[in-house]
């Protein structure tokens, strides 16, 4: 008979542990009634659980007014990470309202009920003011599909709606995805493209449908698309020659340094301006340089000075 009681006790403790790990708050009197045990037996069960949690540093069992809950020792850190990730996600504008809500709820699901409530309160204003992109579409499914192709070295046959002028309909593309990343409102996937005869960046939200998955190549690491190079040298557009540029900057210097990783100040002026040197993919860099207006002046190379002058002149003519 004692063996049966031991099995029942082990099963009961295991069930209690699972409920605590799931974030539930357990009331002692309800536990005693559910399992038909005395209050003393229930207290002994929770004592076993407390010792086990302590031995494996899995958290602390908190007893308050006849209730028990699990407080993970890293919960404060976890809450900080959830808050940071949630606000980054809210600022991205990339997901639909439905996908956003589901993702935010998932991020906080590992926190205690009390911490989940606090997190919900802290994000109320941000969630209420969330504005998705004007033509946002569900992305999580295609995100999973593309990630799976990368892991399994598969090629995709898919329809893609380009943003190029004149391309009004989706076209069929054949490409093998190799790198997936997020940047300035959009998810991008770098693919080895048959249509472009090399690596090309596709915007994930412009993929209309994945029609087929085929065996791809196991690409040599040295020949793969370099996401590190993209992050170091490209801004908005991953095109144009890699060029060393110098410009005098009159605004807050850290703004420019943050936009061009690896850039550096090579000269300071008494008026607070400075000369910045950076290595960039020129086409995307021009977009940022133009966005600064009179806050900067390009110094070199001469070809970039001429390009800036021509584009600014053409802009001015739009208002004549």
237-258, pLDDT tens digit by residue?
677 889 999 999 999 999 899 8
Question: From CA 13, how far away is CA 21, in angstroms rounded?
Answer: 12
Greatest mean pLDDT range, 4-8, 163-167, 184-188, 227-231 = 184-188
Q: Coil, strand, or helix at residue 243?
A: strand
In 3D, which of 237, 302, 244 has the Cα closest to residue 277?
244
Report the CATH number of the 2-71 domain. Answer: 1.10.10.10
Residue 15 burial class via C-beta count within 10 angstroms: exposed 0-12, middle 13-18, buried 19 and up: middle
Contact 252, 302 (CB under 8 A): no
Q: 1-5, 24-28, 182-186, 206-210: which range is least confident on average?
A: 1-5
pLDDT of 1: 44
pLDDT of 32: 86
Is the per-residue pLDDT at 3 higher than 60? no
13-38, pLDDT tens digit by residue?
888 888 887 778 888 888 888 888 88
Q: DSSP characters for 79-143?
A: HHHHHHHHHHHHHH--S-HHHHHHHHHHHHTTS-HHHHHHHHHHHHHHHHT----TT----HHHH
| Confidence bin at 314 (pLDDT 50/70/90) | very high
Question: From CA 108, how far away is CA 170, in angstroms rounded?
Answer: 38
pLDDT of 6: 62
Question: Which fold would CATH assign to domain 140-225?
Answer: SH3 type barrels. (2.30.30)
**Angle between helices 2-21 and 39-55 in degrees, nearest 10:** 60
In 3D, which of 30, 49, 50, 51 has the Cα closest to residue 39?
30
pLDDT of 274: 96
**pTM for the whole thing?**
0.67
């Amino acid at each position: 008979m004692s063996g049966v009681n031991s099995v029942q006790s082990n099963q009961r403790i295991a069930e209690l542990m699972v409920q605590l790990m799931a974030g539930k708050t357990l009331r002692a009197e309800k536990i005693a009634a559910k399992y038909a045990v005395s209050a003393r037996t229930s207290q002994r069960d929770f004592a076993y659980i407390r010792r086990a949690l302590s031995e494996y540093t899995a958290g602390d069992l908190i007893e308050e007014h006849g209730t028990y809950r699990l407080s993970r020792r890293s919960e404060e850190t976890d809450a900080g990470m959830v808050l940071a990730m949630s606000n980054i996600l809210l600022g991205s504008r990339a997901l639909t309202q439905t996908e956003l809500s589901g993702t935010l709820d998932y991020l906080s699901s590992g926190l205690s009920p009390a911490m989940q409530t606090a997190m919900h309160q802290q994000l109320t204003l941000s969630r209420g003011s969330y504005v998705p992109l004007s033509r946002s579409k569900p992305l999580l499914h295609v995100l999973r599909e593309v990630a799976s192709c990368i892991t399994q070295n598969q090629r995709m046959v898919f329809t893609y709606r380009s943003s190029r002028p004149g391309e009004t309909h989706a076209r069929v593309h054949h490409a093998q995805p190799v790198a997936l990343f997020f940047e300035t409102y959009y998810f991008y996937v770098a693919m080895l493209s048959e249509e472009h005869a090399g690596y090309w960046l596709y915007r994930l939200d412009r993929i209309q449908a994945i029609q087929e998955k085929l065996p791809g190549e196991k690409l040599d690491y040295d020949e793969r698309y370099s996401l590190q190079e993209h992050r170091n040298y490209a801004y908005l557009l991953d095109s144009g020659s890699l060029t060393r540029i110098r410009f005098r900057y009159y605004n807050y210097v850290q703004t420019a340094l943050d936009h061009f990783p690896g850039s550096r100040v090579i000269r300071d002026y008494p008026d607070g301006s400075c000369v910045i040197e950076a290595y960039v993919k020129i086409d995307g860099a021009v977009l940022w340089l133009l966005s600064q207006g009179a806050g900067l002046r390009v110094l070199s190379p001469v070809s970039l000075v001429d390009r800036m002058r021509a584009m600014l002149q053409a802009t001015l003519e739009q208002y004549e």
